[in-house]
A = this chain, B = another copy of it.
Amino acid sequence: MITLSSDFGTPYPAAMKGVMLQRTDARLVDVAHDFPRQDVRTAAFWLREVLPYFPPATHLVVVDPGVGTDRNALVVRAGDHTLVGPDNGVLRPAARRLAADETGVETYLIDEREIGPVEPTTPTDSTADSSEHRSPRSTTFHGRDVFAPAAAAVHDADIDSLGSLECLEPGTAAVDLQLPAAELEDDRAIGEVLVVDGFGNAITNVPGAFLDGRERVMANGRAVPVGTTFAAVPVGERLATVGSHGYVELDVNQGRGDEAFGLEPGDRVVLEPAPGGDD
């Protein structure tokens, strides 16, 4: 099984699928192709939260603002999973989660020179529609020309046998990305919004346990009820809840929490106990 994640929209992911299906019979499963463009941090968050629900698989990830530069291309082994993508940190949080800890993560460099040019199935062109120049490997679409063939190769073969990939041993420094942790002090949590999901839920980095035993909480100075479900408050009302990823979310029942709370990814969130009975 190979999962696909990117910020490509369509139809670029289809080219990656074609390239892989020329090389492997693996099941292909889309995670998302609408990650915010070139937003490594948001993609890293979602991959960390979603990939652990998959059975052992190869995960192709292409959110790659540095495509074509000398940034490395990586294969990362993490537990029973393998990740393939650019060396910009996007793979790290998921890899740590999948491997249970940092020491379980193995990183390999892909030697791009050893990945043959990705030829379309009919390379000879002789008509007007087809006369344009075609470079052997694109400098702007490594998803198709580097990462997809690498993912197909590591899916179908033992990683250590891949002379064709010339995977190199790690130790090699790879770009790290640590999603920020909230500061917890006594009864106070100082965190930030990690991402906003499609429903408008503002997902913070404050561990959900902060809400244990509380009926109300102050969020950036405003008291809101703590609910275990959106429906704990009337439609259109604000609440704090523990999201499906285990973090505190600031939400609106059947509405957009980001708009109601005025929050965007990266914004600071301070959670404090609500004064007794005070609103």
Residues of B within 8 A of A133 (CB): 207-209, 242, 246
B121:A79 contact, CB within 8 angstroms: yes
Stretch at the interface among A167-175, A216-224, A228-236, A268-276: A228-236
In the complex, A144 has a CB within 8 A of chain B:
yes
Contact of A120 among B33, B53, B208 (CB under 8 A): B53
B127:A101 contact, CB within 8 angstroms: yes
B242:A129 contact, CB within 8 angstroms: no
Query: At the interface, is chain A mostly helix, strand, loop or mixed?
Result: loop
A68:B31 contact, CB within 8 angstroms: no
The number of residues on chain A lying at the interface, defined by a beta carbon within 8 Å of a beta carbon of chain B, is 97
B198:A10 contact, CB within 8 angstroms: yes
Report A's interface with B, CB cutoff 8 A.
Answer: 1, 3, 5, 8-12, 14-15, 17-19, 21-22, 27-35, 37-38, 46, 48-56, 65-69, 79-81, 93, 96-102, 118, 120-122, 124-135, 138-141, 144-145, 178-179, 181, 197-199, 205, 207-209, 228-231, 241-247, 249, 254
